[in-house]
Amino acid sequence: MTDYAVVNPATGKTLKTYDTITDDDLTAAVGRAAEAHASWSKGKTVEERAAVIRRVAELHIERKQQLGEIIVREMGKPIQQAVGEVEFAAAIYEYYADNAADLLADEPIELLNGEGSAFIRRSSVGLLLGIMPWNYPYYQVARFAGPNLVIGNTIMLKHAPQCPESAAAMEQIFHDAGVPTDAYINIYATNDQIARVIADPRVQGVSLTGSGRAGAAVAELAGRHLKKVVLELGGSDPFIVLKADDLDAVVEAAVGGRLENTGQACNAAKRFVVLDEYYDDFVAKFTDALTKIEPGDPTSPETTIGPLSSTAAADRLEQQVKQALDSGARLVAGGGREGNFFKTAVLTDITPDNPAYTEEFFGPVAQVYRVGSEEEAIRLANDTPYGLGSYVFTTDQQQALRVADQIEAGMVFINTVGAEGVELPFGGVKASGFGRELGRFGTDEFVNKKLIRVGH
């Protein structure tokens, strides 16, 4: 039985299949990973664990071409971006290796009354389950595994069914770097099997990046069994244009913000909210720039966008565009599909009763909205179930911060795109989930912040 396979989205060919783990083997793996926690967390110092994670970073760099080629096959990411993702993952591991001791250092508390002292000591909680998506196969794992292995937690990792080869390659890296075999275990498990893992009392927490439906199911299970959970569930991020003295630069940023990973990024700019005085020029320039970019062979270093990740992904986007047009939206330019290759497109005239107004479009399709004021821009930006990221472009710094304060999102980027960093927290609000990854906030999700109070 198998749910896991490498199906090249550029060709549609199934290249390799992987057997799903048996129930007995899964039960044994949970036991081994839970038992490994004591020796990994208590048997090694923070510095020793950090040295192992530093080696994980080094091996990612040493193998970056091979790792990049794997995800080109699995989910169609253009090779230059694929290698870049591996490098970013390595930087995450390096960050946690460099900062492990500081991030886990005791935190003193100033006492208001009484004598003595008090402090918070951070320590691991045990075995964690990670459920990862296909769109950033290495980066997503690094956000979860990097801090938690440094802390001393052990990990079972269920990757997306279309990413079994990259999942196996990462497990090999962890073991080659010195992470004990049972402290990081890759599993090819079904959803029913994962439900049993979440219910297992030896599992102390769950982190999932994926769809809202998957997040709701995992959160319900985790809540029923009193497990901490971190969820990152996607978004429909607004890109707000309020004041511009160089509209061409704004358009360039808009194109880049929409097309990263062939438009299949949770925090990509998806809804472009443009003040009336710039709207016509923006639509003309943006449409021209976006539709000049054609999908191409993901193995070529010249390719900017490749195929969508799967036939199912292409089918869904095609249906969303059709439904949007049937409901009154206007296709300004672009569109069309050849196999899993989807051409860039720009949609306008989307009204609140159009299904497209509240949906996340995962692919190279942009929505553009006209607004008459800053207040209207904020209302439209917030009129979404999601709240992951957002982008504000204006030459007025006071306006930028004023708008940022009112945006209902976990992240606001002002006059920049692609500015994520290993030290910056990543996460959202509303239907985009809860919890944070990366930076020091990424180390605080699955730790025991133990109070130690010392009397006189």
Q: Where in the chain is the domain with CATH 3.40.605.10?
A: 4-233+431-454
Residues of the chain with CATH 3.40.309.10: 237-420
Assigned CATH topology for domain 4-233+431-454: Aldehyde Dehydrogenase; Chain A, domain 1 (3.40.605)
Token pair of 316 as six digits? 């869904």
pLDDT of 226 reads 96
- The predicted pLDDT at position 1 comes to 43
Q: From the candidates 85, 165, 266, 445, which is the catalytic residue?
A: 266
pTM of the model: 0.96
Rounded distance, CA 17 to CA 162, Å? Answer: 9
Low-confidence residues of the chain: pLDDT under 50: 1
Q: Bin 141: left if φ > 0, else alpha if -120 < ψ < 50, else beta.
A: alpha
Angle between helical axes of 46-62 and 64-75 (0-180°, round to 10)? 70
What pLDDT sits at residue 2? 61
Query: CATH homologous superfamily for 237-420?
Result: Aldehyde Dehydrogenase; Chain A, domain 2 (3.40.309.10)
Known catalytic residue: 266?
A: yes
| The pLDDT of residue 114 | 78
Question: Cα(369)–Cα(248) distance, rounded to whole angstroms?
Answer: 18
**For residue range 226-264, what is the model confidence (pLDDT) as tens digits?**
999 999 998 999 999 999 999 999 999 999 999 999 999
Establish whether 232 is a catalytic residue.
Answer: yes
The catalytic position among 94, 171, 232, 437 is 232
